[in-house]
Chain A
Amino acid sequence: MTEMVDPEMRPPQMPPNEVGIDRLLRRSMAVPIPTLSKDFDQRLLREVRRGSRPLDQYRRILLAAYGVVSVVVSAMVMRGQGLDWGVVSGTIVASLALVAITRLAWRATDTTLRHAAR
């Protein structure tokens, strides 16, 4: 859906030296104005609902189990390759730290929005 703006609409107090560029801008920008899709609100609210749905109990347990199994399997594989426990635990801790940093970065985005609100 589009609409047009009247190209002759001009403020009455325009200085004479600006009239030319004003007319040129009006003419060159006299193209249809876009509008949002008709179903935009519905699509957005669907997205909002999907994004705000909390993880259910089953998903939480599955995610935690996946995390524990990953750590155990990684430790076993690394030990199997002859690495000592220091290196194995260092690698695992570094991976977990990466996850924590990602979470912090995510929260920093929230803080930015909070500052924007002030």
Chain B
Amino acid sequence: MALALAENDAQLVERAQSGDEPAFAELVRRHSALVFRLAVSILGREFIPEAEDVTQEVFLKVHHAIGSFRGESEFRSWIYRITFNQAVNLKARVRFRSPHADESVLHDVATSEPGADRQMEVVQRDRALAECIQTLPEVYQSALRLHYWLGAGVGEVAELLGVPQNTAKSYLYRARQLLHGMLKEKGHSCD
């Protein structure tokens, strides 16, 4: 195991290609958390078990196809690309299962506690924001969740989405601009 820790991904991939299971296990250990983060960022917080399924599916695919990996791109870029495609495909299938908050629940929350009007407004704005996020392009949604929910810096967002840092920055900027406009249209203030 100490040997595996000292090796880089390319060396581990080479060993995994010749059927070395501990090498593949080390690749899983190194990358599973980030693959899961990327999957969660695409699927959203309602589909965490599905994100774990995606993570497993990605590594099974990687194991199946590792023999054909030529090393022309970085191993991690390769698995992030597989993850992105896998999660987006799954999202298209599970979208209709998205749970929707019941208005009566919001009303109960708002009327049973002090500052009810303000609280109701905040809940409705958060709900509107969540709905607006769902309408953004997948890469914008993923960039937003990675940055604001999962605490990823711009560099990590860029790496996971396989784009230059400036592009990741512009995804975040464009996403904020679009959300600002959409919330305004729905009659919500951002202040």
Contacts and interface: CB of A to CB of B under 8 A. Distances in A.
Nearest to A17: B180
B52 interface: yes
Q: 9 nearest interchain CB pairs?
A: A20-B190, A5-B151, A113-B65, A29-B149, A29-B148, A114-B68, A25-B148, A34-B48, A21-B180
B160 interface: no
Interface residues of A, number: 37
Given A40-B32, A41-B28, 7 more contacts: A23-B190, A24-B183, A25-B144, A28-B130, A51-B64, A110-B64, A116-B85
A51 B63 contact: yes
A44 B176 contact: no
Interface of B: 21, 24-25, 28-29, 32-33, 36, 40, 45, 48, 51-52, 55-56, 59-61, 63-65, 68-70, 72-73, 78, 81-82, 85, 125-126, 129-130, 144-145, 148-151, 154, 173, 176-177, 179-180, 183, 189-191
B151 A33 contact: yes
Contacts of A68: none
Given A31-B45, A36-B33, A44-B28, A9 B151 contact: yes
B68 A117 contact: yes
A25 B150 CA distance: 12
Contact of A47 (B33, B48, B60, B144): B60
B16 to A, nearest CB: 10
A56 interface: no
A28 B129 contact: yes
A21 B133 CA distance: 12
Contacts of A81: none
A5 B37 CA distance: 14
A52 interface: yes
A57 interface: no
B82 A41 contact: no
Contacts of B82: 113, 116
B24 A48 contact: yes
Contact of B55 (A20, A36, A45): A36
A117 B64 contact: no
Contact of A21 (B29, B60, B72, B190): B190
A19 to B, nearest CB: 9
B146 to A, nearest CB: 10
B25 to A, nearest CB: 6
Which of A40, A52, A118 is the most central at the interface, judged by chain B CB atoms within 10 Å of its CB?
A: A40
Contacts of A51: 60, 63-64
